[in-house]
Structure 1
Amino acid sequence: VDMTFRIGENTTPMTCTVLLELVDEGRVDLDDPLTKWVPGLVGAEGVTLRELCQNTSGIGDYAAALRTNFVMNPTRQWPPLELASDGIAMQR
Structure 2
Amino acid sequence: MDVFLMIRRKKLTIFTDAKDTTTVLELKKIIEGILKIPPQNQQLFNKDNTVMEDSHLLQDYGLTSLTAKAQNPATIGLAIRSVFKRFD
**TM tier relative to shorter chain:** under 0.3
**TM-score scaled by structure 2?**
0.27
Larger relative contact order, structure 1 or 2 (CA cutoff 8 Å, min sep 6): 2
Whichever structure has more strand as a proportion of its residues is 2
Considering only CA atoms, is the larger Rg found in Structure 1 or Structure 2? 1
Whichever structure has more helix as a proportion of its residues is 1
**TM-score scaled by structure 1?**
0.27
